[in-house]
Structure 1
Amino acid sequence: MTEELQHGFKKVQTQWVDDIGAEVVEYYHPQSGGRVMWVNNDDPNRTFGIGFLTPPTDSTGVAHIVEHSVLSGSQKYPVKDPFMHMMKTSMQTFLNALTFADMTVYPLSSMNETDFHHLMGVYLDAVFYPKMLTEEKIFRQEGWHKELFQPEDDLTIKGVVYNEMRGAFGDVDRAIMSSVAEHLHPESTYAHESGGNPYVIPELSYEDFCAFHQTHYRPDNALAFLYGDIDIDRALAQINEGYFDAFEADHHAIELTLPTPPKGRTKETVYYSADKQMSRETDSYLTYTVPFTSAQDKQMIFILQLLGDVLVDAEASPLRAALVDTGFAEDVSAYPSDGYYQDFGIVVENMSADQADQIVDIIEKTLRQVVEDGLDQSVFDGVLNSREFYYRQAGGSMQGITRGIQMLSVWRYQDQPLDGLTYSDELDYIRQRRDQGMFEQLLTDRVLNAETTQVLVHEPKVGLFRSQDDALAEKLAAEKAQLSAEDVQELIKQNESLRAYQTEPDTPEAIATLPQLDLADVPRETTNIPEEILSNNPTILFHPQATSGVRYVKLAFASDDMTREEIPYLKDLAILLGSVDTQNMTYQDLDTELMKATAGLGIVPKIYTAVDNPDDYTVQMEVNFAALNPKTARGFELTTDILTKSLFTQKQRILNVFKRVKLEMEQSFEANGHQAALGRVRSLYSNPSRYAEELSGIGYYDHLTHLINHFDTEWETFKHQLEQLNQRLWTQSRLTISLTGESADKDAFYHEVKEFIETLPVGETVVRHPMTFDFSNIRKEAIITNSNVQYVAQGGYFPATDYEALMLVLSAILSKGYLYDLVRLQGGAYGAGLTISRTGDMTAYSYRDPNVDQTIATYQAMSDFVANLELDQETLNQFIIGTMSSFHYPISPDKVNRIMLTRYFKGSDKSMIDKRLIATLNTTVADLMAYVDLIRETMAQGYTVVIGNEQQIKQATFAFDNVRELKQ
């Protein structure tokens, strides 16, 4: 008897998975060869995703450009950018697409069931029937094109992915990882850059681009996943009808290129682009890598990750002690394998290239000593506990996205998707063999006696990008010189045609094809988070949640009495606590004990601004950790030890920690410079933003740089100030506590908290007096980094009393419409946006932007756009719906303390938020028009910060008050 199919799908298996507490159902579509995995639970944040195996065969970035382009219109939804339309108008909680080294994933989630199916339909049509196959302009916009608008102009390359990857290649870590894969696995899938090398991207033709999609985007090369409280019959019907049922399986599997790594021991020198302050004596990297296992051996992958933590990443790791504590390098880390090849590797950061051979000898000598002595069992147990906590909480409020990618990550290597969801068997296997010598034997067989060992010395090369850009410019100039006048005019015509395509609005008929929610579909109240006040002296807030036995602790110590000079010392203290010895433990033992008892201890200074007054703000030093019920008491013991008994006497250790943090900040400025630019702009006029800048922005970076450069002469003064600050900060009188845990566990939890409080001195009450600053005359600043692109921020301040909830809608219209169109689509930046805050900040920003002048001019014209905005109420309502994720979002237990403590210090509550929700829902076109003058006047203040490429900054006609190097 033939088994009945459900919308073309056969149910293959149903299995309960203890590790994620859910039933997982697998479906197979015989006609197309497609598969669907459904994690069936009651999570209202419903998730859908579909992934395709997309291994590259070159570094043109074809998989990445296709990922961008399929979301630029489709057969059923012929608007130019359905992705952005849904970003504007849906209640999505996640909407993105991700290109991995060998697969591409399209995940989404929404807490509104109707919206979820809308999004699902748009994504299915996008991936299977994209408009890009018939509209070459999409390829030229998202991928690359030769740009020319005037005959006398230089010929240049533009494109969204092209500029994104110019920025990505400025990330030293990215460059190093690419070099390792390229050299260790030559001629393999992983020798190519799936995102695209910006100097290779222009080799991709439109024909090859289309062919890649046709070859790879089909159901028998895909895995779809569903997660949460889903009507599975409706979902399967939607996946089948017009999509899976339109394909026949061709049984020609997409294959990875996986040659065996060449045997032997190699050492090579490679180069990464550097700024003029960097040298091979201080800024070289070394990678030591050996093939360890493959992605199909799950047990070995767990062991590999464990070995990386134990041997390299933990503070008590032997390789860290051998290389960092002895001054050979500023940091070490385990090589993060991603793909079929799972390699054991060590990344040695900021070392001298001249010491490369010595460092390799130290690495191998240290590993041999570990084999002889055995792994440190205490560190082993700590790392194992930390790993289990990570697997248990993976994804937090976005577990559906995480679980889907976990299944795809094993499916892509022909394994069962369910294997990506389990971890307890592997951890049990490891625990049972912790003292049987297995790990030491693996180190001997697979690392020390490896058939293949690769050592790469990554030296900084000043101006590498500049020389590549110069070569490209010369090539383009020569190419242009060969063009006839007719050819030039044809190229200009092509660019004008692309610009017209980008600027021409979608027709009403095209827009009408998109599914839409109604305002009536939006709940009129936000989710209630229950809260109890357990004590008023100090204030203890408790939030009952289903946490699976995990307790979450957040301790806030008022720090409003800091002097101007003490501000950066708050951050210094936050960095060092837990990273230096205490009276009872070494920092290595402390790190190990924290891993054994908790998910880690976080200490960070935070600023909270009152909802009704931007000049009224409080500074809190926050300490937080999470632990399973039996281990919370130990977590509090360790917290007490760190806060009250830390020693600031290890001069070299403290210097090493600060050098590591400085390096991390430099890498962050290169990769996420828009955040630094936003903070810097606001610090030019806002008191709380200026405070924040000196706590964590470029202002703090300057403090750290000065301290490191003058460490010997300033050590005694620094140590004294730090000790004094630490002694007065951790008192009961400064303390506010937020707790989240199981309701039945409240009394036991409260008892442990009270015991912790008694370990602290009482102290004096802190009077809240927000600091005010004297602002300099600098309004327009450029900060030069080694980046290949720019991050451009501009804004100003307005009276906070003028802020209304509807500004959220105004910000969305400008971010997802005006700025997206002009800065991203036409300008070629990877992203752009506008923030308008309750504190009176209005700031526009761009991300990985090839321009300066053009972007600033776009910011200045925003008010004109609003003044001429032609928007009917029905269209506006869709924008309003698109802002609702600011009010309706998934709340996982690990987020509750942060949310509720933020409300507490800002003087906000659910009723105030609900009031803003209703005001936002009631926004009218007339309301928006009333803000034209405010936008014009605020942006006219012209506070500007540009972070990025030296050549582009110096060629800009915009008049900066100050131009400086990041590294001074």
Structure 2
Amino acid sequence: MSQEEKNAATPTCGAVAPYTKADPSLAPGTRHAGFTVTDVLPLPELSGTAYVMRHDATGARAMWIAVDDNEKSFSIAFKTPPANSTGVFHILEHSVLCGSDRFPVKEPFVNLLKTSMQTFLNALTFPDKTMYPVASTNAADLKNLVDVYLDAVLHPAIYRRPRIFEQEGWHLELQDADGKAAAPEDPDARLAYNGVVFNEMKGALSDPDEVLFEAVNQSLFPDTPYRFESGGDPRHIPELSYEEFLDTHARHYNLANSYTILYGNLDIEDMLAFVGSRFDAATDRGAGAPNPLPLQAPVRAPFRQVTMATAPENASVGLAYVIGCAADRERVLATDVLLDALAGSNEAPLKRAVLDANLGDDFTATLVDGELQPQVLFQLKGAKPGVARRFRQLVEDTCARLAADGIDRTKLEASLAQGEFNLREGDWGSYADGVALSMQAMSSWLYDDARPVDYLRYEDQMAHMRAGLGNGYFERLLRELVCDSPHSCEVELVPAEEGAGAAEKDELLARQRAMTPEDLAAVAREVEALRREQEAPDSPEALATLPRLTTADIGPAPTDAPLQRMDAPLPCLYHDLPTHRIDYAYLYFDLGALDFADLPYVGVLTDLLGKLDTADHTASELDTLIEANLGNLDFFAETYGHDDDLAFADPKLVVAESALSENVAALATIAPEVWSRTSFADADRMLAILTQRRILLAQHFVNSGHSSAMAQLTGLYSKVSVATNAMGGVEYYLFLKDLLAHWDERKSELSERLGRIARQVFSADNVHVSFTGPREDCERFWQEAGTLGLQPAPDATATPRLLIPDPRPRNLFFSIPSNVCFVAEGTAPSALDRGTVGAWTVASRMLSFDYLWNEVRVKGGAYGTGFRHTTTGLQQYWSFRDPGIASTLRRYEGAASWMAGWPGTADELDGYVVSVVASHDAPAKSRSIARRQDGEFFSARPATWRDEVRAQELAVTADDVRALAPSMRQLAADHAVVVFGPRQKAAESGLDFEVVDLMDPQPADAAGEGGE
């Protein structure tokens, strides 16, 4: 009987889950397909067991996290501490996925994205390791993914295709003044760097936080690999040679330096035999030893300043302390709890002290773990000139006082409760559980073979911390971490007139002057050769080597409990979904009775609620009450639309809360106090909160400009996005900037207006309550809630008056302090569009992972790109960390011709359908399912909508996708373009933009140079 069959035969009722008891056939010392079990460790937090193993022939480490989860995963990781800042491991992470010996196609990674049933597929570079994780609900598909990934990392094509290094790492190009390709004899031709990782890191290091953190690591770890930028510093990436690139792979990507983690409900004997056969065939390249990863002896680094071309408002100070070693799991957990108690909100004592001192705009405390020597980083954002030394003194004096006088016990208890809730909930966002837990395991296993599961456990440590509340546990920890720390640093980031862009420009100019005409011609020839290689299609024989599933392998659609209407004092949507005894409540308040001019104030309201005094509690008391009793309490705004009407918009203010089942009464009482009894009289607190919000939005524009560009683009056609942007997008940011700039004149009117809007919005006439959890918990919720204290609106019969302005398509350029661009282009629904939602979903995947990937990413050097067709008919293209604008837009506008002549085979189409349906069927947390069902309810979609779309996807033909091309041709003549990027790129693009400066004017050379 297979392991899966054994598990299926194991009763799942009662107290014992299938994997909580160790399997005697996997006892220590037993051998399985070339692996020897070395340890068996219980994982009570996961209701599972860990089996730790070694591969006898190669010494490869392996572990199976055996839990009852049908979303299975695999990961192989290598210890990869860098020896410089050339980003070699980051470039390798990209490059090994560009073909291998057994799978000699150019982009097997992309082929798997296009054709597999994966629920997670990626590769990740960390400061000291590189991981290659995959996940799938289909056992055969998982083996296919493992097969391709293992061949990629162990037998990559980089040894026989050197231009992979040029494409993913860096190469030289010749460009004219507009950034277009130039001939060597062109007098305006100038050298430029290009490459996917090069451009990605130019974007990453446009973030002041990243630059500050890099400098902090240089100060804290002057003698270890953590002083280097593992992702690659664009100033140093061009120092990397192809020879060093290959040598680094040979020394680190060997099985003795590897860690393999299997997860989930697996036939473990079969999987070990499969993996072991690939390990046995591994190539020993006879290279030297991998880079060492030593401990850094404690240092109290001297104060340091770094400069960066960025907006003046991005001045900041970082104060960091090494807290110990990764081996001390409890210390790391306790530090996380301590930081929440000290600085987790504006009312926490350390953060309150810094804000009251008025040294800057915001203060954060971050635990940096997953490294050999974890650290705490205190950061002052929007720092005023000359405050750096005062900042350190204030932090250390405040910590000393708290360590001596004691930290408020109720605050510590609340932070412990919050930490326990987060660990119990285990919500990893977009990461499959097995992938996230594999990453957690590496937080100790990478540094100590005897500690493979430390970071998968927490119950004993949390209990020990709770027992220590009365004997000064956290005060002693604080004293050790900060007051008596022998290992710390302070770094100030100062905005400057010039930055890396100017240095890069000077370097390239000097390099060009030293080159002969023959040298320049050689550069042009190499770029042409690279383009030919990029454009050459994979042969049918090469494509045939890739394993693939077909639509015949797709099972029936997973079924979720349908949305129910529950009889309750207020309209109630009920979701009968498993939640592991965590309850979720969402309250949707309609905003139709407001004026459009009120919507930005709704954004302000959601930013402030839960952070100010109420009539019953101070802000500090409220913060503690929420953390002690709820998992979360959030206020935000969102807008729903109808698929067939771009002019319809239904904006709502949403109250989102969660709690352990035993605290369900808190769901019914705390939020009503906040929305009905908050005082808007404390102007100073409101100013601090809204300033912090402005900072977060500005960071979002720099780091995720593609999502902001897409939101703005949608808002040029759709009233849904017009409303959404007014409450939380660029328009809200500009409103917030103006409000803060005129604070003294507007604060009184603001308080009055917020009170009025709250009274209008929070009424019994315009709310829907959504509850997810056991039915008995829902009934207890309503017993406690009644009508949640809500009263009918003063004029419940009034006609809704919200009039949202008509959108106006145009070209917009939002200037941000960045070295790269985020380029979005789109068009209105076309009268020629006859495609179904399912056909467009398949076509979107084709465009994103074939045409656009090759054109915009591979050739253009952008880090990411994609296409989407909204259910309302909008066609939209985007790029991420893109060196150009004009060339990207030309490539977008070539998509229609590519689609019209799509050259794929029936097998290729079948693969796309498999991947699309797999995404449709991917497992989701109950909270996410409930939110999706709520959204479909408010969007007036029929209950069968998802099933209908899935059926359309399965029925798509090649003729269906080619028939979409005529509607796509509209883009060339009738479009809007939205770009987030450095200001001078607007002029270089040759397009007529409305230019908006989002931040204070940046230094002239903040953007530097980049290739088109």
State the TM-score, normalized to the length of structure 2.
0.91
- Cα deviation for residue 31 of structure 1 reads 1.4
Residue 125 of structure 2 aligns with an amino acid whose one-letter code is: T
- 1:477 to 1:116, Cα distance in 2 relative to 1, 3 A: same
Q: Distance in 2 between matches of 1:423 and 1:519?
A: 42
From 406, 414, 423, give the equivalent of 2:440: 406
Q: 1:261 and 1:6, CA in 2 relative to 1: closer, same or farther beyond 3 A? A: closer
The alignment partner of 1:883 has SS state of helix
Offset at residue 768 of structure 1 (A): 6.5
Amino acid at match of 1:14: V
One of 164, 182, 200 as aligned partner of 2:236:
200
The structural deviation recorded for 1:514 is 0.6
Structure 2 distance, partners of 1:442, 1:251, is: 44
Is the aligned partner of 1:317 residue 2:343?
no
Matches within 5 A, 1:619-658: 619-658=651-690
Does the 8 A contact of 2:326 with 2:332 survive in 1? yes
1:82-161 matched pairs, under 5 angstroms: 82-148=108-174, 150-151=183-184, 152=186, 153-161=189-197
Matched to 2:142, the amino acid is F
Alpha-carbon distance, 1:87 to partner: 0.6
- Closer, same or farther: CA 770–198 of 1 in aligned 2, 3 Å: same
Amino acid at match of 2:209: D
* Residues 14 and 252 of structure 1, relative CA distance in 2, 3 Å threshold: farther
User: 1:955: Cα distance to partner?
Assistant: 1.6
Q: Assess, with a 3 A threshold, how the Cα gap between structure 1 residues 446 and 693 changes in structure 2: closer, same or farther.
A: closer
Hey, what's the Cα distance between the residues in 1 that align with 2:73 and 2:895? 35
Q: Is the 8 A contact 1:524 1:914 kept in 2?
A: no
Among 614, 635, 652, the residue aligned to 1:603:
635
The answer to whether the 8 Å contact 2:827/2:875 transfers is: yes
Quick one: which of 939, 946, 955 aligns to 1:906?
A: 939
Deviation at 1:910? 4.5
CA contact (8 A) 1:524 1:918 kept: no
Structure-2 change in CA distance of 1:936 and 1:214 (3 Å):
same
| 2:782 counterpart of 1:782 | no
Distance 1:843 1:495 in 2: 30
2:923 matched to which residue of 1? 890
Query: Which residue, 564, 568, 588 being the options, matches 2:620?
Result: 588
| 1:59 CA drift (Å) | 0.3
2:274 is aligned with 1:238 = yes
Mapped contact 1:143–1:161 kept (Cα < 8 A): yes
Indicate how the Cα distance of structure 1 residues 740 and 186 shifts in structure 2: closer, same or farther if over 3 A, else same: same
RMSD value over aligned CA atoms? 2.3
Is residue 659 of structure 1 aligned with residue 694 of structure 2?
A: no
Instruction: Give the AA of the match of 2:267.
Output: D
Structure 2: which 5+ runs fail to align? 1-26, 175-181, 1002-1012
Q: 1:237 to 1:793 in 2, by over 3 A?
A: same
| 1:184 and 1:261 in contact (8 A); partners too | no
Contact 1:169 1:175 in 2 (8 A): yes
Kindly indicate whether the alpha-carbon contact (under 8 Å) linking 1:274 and 1:461 is maintained by their aligned counterparts in 2. Answer: yes
Match of 1:65 in 2: 91
Secondary structure in structure 2 of the residue aligned to 1:568: helix
CA distance in 2, matches of 1:938, 1:49: 41
CA distance in 2, matches of 1:376, 1:267: 32
TM-superposed CA distance for 1:375, in Å, is 1.1
**Correspondence list, 1:333-344, <5 A:** 333-338=364-369, 339-344=371-376
Q: Contact 2:649–2:720 at 8 Å: present in 1 too?
A: yes
List alignment gaps of at least 5 residues for structure 1.
Answer: none
Partner of residue 210, structure 1: 246
Q: Spell out the pairing of 1:305-454 with structure 2 (5 A cutoff).
A: 305-338=336-369, 339-396=371-428, 398-414=432-448, 415-454=450-489
Q: Measure how far apart 1:487 and its partner are.
A: 2.6
For residues 174-196 of structure 1, give each alpha carbon's deviation from its aligned partner in whole angstroms, at most 9, with x where no partner exists.
11111111112112111000000
The code of the aligned residue for 1:5 comes to R
Between the two proteins, the alignment pairs up a number of residues equal to: 957
> Are residues 1:466 and 2:496 paired?
no
For residues 279-303 of structure 1, the C-alpha deviation after alignment (integer angstroms, 9 at most, x for no partner) is xxx6431222233211111121122
Residue of structure 2 in register with 1:695 after alignment: 727
Correspondence for 1:710 among 713, 732, 742: 742
CA contact (8 A) 1:32 1:248 kept: no
How far has the Cα of 1:656 moved from its partner?
0.8
Measure how far apart 1:357 and its partner are: 2.6
Q: CA deviation at 1:808?
A: 0.8
CA distance in 1, matches of 2:396, 2:345: 18
- Equivalent position SS for 1:487: helix
Please say which of residues 942-951 and 443-452 is displaced more in the overlay.
443-452
* Residue 746 (structure 1) shift: 4.5
Q: Quote the offset at 1:42 in angstroms.
A: 2.6
In the TM superposition, what is the alpha-carbon distance from 1:15 to its structure 2 partner? Answer: 3.2
Q: Distance in 1 between matches of 2:314 and 2:961?
A: 51
Report the 3-state secondary structure (helix = DSSP H, G, I; strand = E; otherwise coil) of the residue aligned with 1:434.
helix
Q: Is the 8 A contact 2:834 2:964 kept in 1?
A: no
Distance of 1:908 and 1:488 partners within structure 2:
59
Question: Which structure 2 residues correspond to residues 522-601 of structure 1 after superposition, within 5 A?
Answer: 522-535=554-567, 538-601=570-633
Could you list the per-position Cα deviations for residues 597-617 of structure 1 after superposition, in whole angstroms to 9, with x for gaps in the alignment? Answer: 111211111111123433333
Q: Does residue 785 of structure 2 align to residue 762 of structure 1?
A: no
How far, CA to CA, are the matches of 2:535 and 2:716 in structure 1? 35
**CA separation of 1:288/1:962 partners in 2, compared to 1, >3 Å: closer, same or farther?**
closer
Deviations 1:631-678 (A, max 9, x none): 121232211110110111111111111110001111110000001111
In structure 1, what is the Cα distance between the partners aligned to 2:137 and 2:803?
A: 41
Q: For residues 884 and 769 of structure 1, do their structure 2 counterparts lie closer, same or farther at Cα, with a shift above 3 Å needed?
A: farther
What TM-score, normalized by structure 1, do the two folds share? 0.95
- Identity over aligned pairs, percent: 29
Is the Cα–Cα contact under 8 Å of residues 632 and 658 in structure 2 kept in the other structure? Answer: yes
Alignment of 1:493-512 (within 5 A): 493-512=525-544
Partner of 1:241, secondary structure, is helix
Residue aligning to 1:952: 985
Distance 1:538 1:938 in 2: 47
Measured against aligned partners, the alpha-carbon deviations of 1:697-744 in whole angstroms (never above 9, x if no partner) come to 111111111111111111222221111000121122211111111355
Of 46-55 and 736-745, the range deviating more from structure 2: 736-745
How far is 1:856 from its partner? Answer: 0.8
Question: How far has the Cα of 1:33 moved from its partner?
Answer: 0.8
Secondary structure of the residue that 1:226 maps to in structure 2? Answer: strand
The reply to whether residue 856 of structure 1 matches residue 889 of structure 2 is: yes
Counterpart CA distance in 2 for 1:12 and 1:525 is 40
Amino acid corresponding to residue 856 of structure 2 in structure 1: V
Asked if residue 920 in structure 1 is aligned to residue 953 in structure 2, the reply is yes
Greater shift after overlay, 75-84 or 803-812?
803-812
Q: Is the 8 A contact 1:8 1:245 kept in 2?
A: no
> 2:262 is matched by which residue type in structure 1?
L
Question: What amino acid maps onto 1:786 in structure 2?
Answer: P
Aligned residue identity for 1:721: R
1:477-516 CA distance string (max 9 Å, x none): 3323333333322222211111001011100000011111
With 628-637 and 836-845 compared, the bigger mean Cα shift is at 628-637
1:311, CA displacement in angstroms? 1.8
> In the aligned structure 2, how far is the partner of 1:635 from the partner of 1:775?
39
Gap change, CA 1:499 and 1:768, over 3 Å in 2: farther
Conserved 8 A contact 2:88-2:240: yes
Indicate yes or no: 2:258 matched with 1:227: no
Structure 1 match to 2:101: 75
The CA distance in 2 between the partners of 1:912 and 1:850, in whole Å, is 40
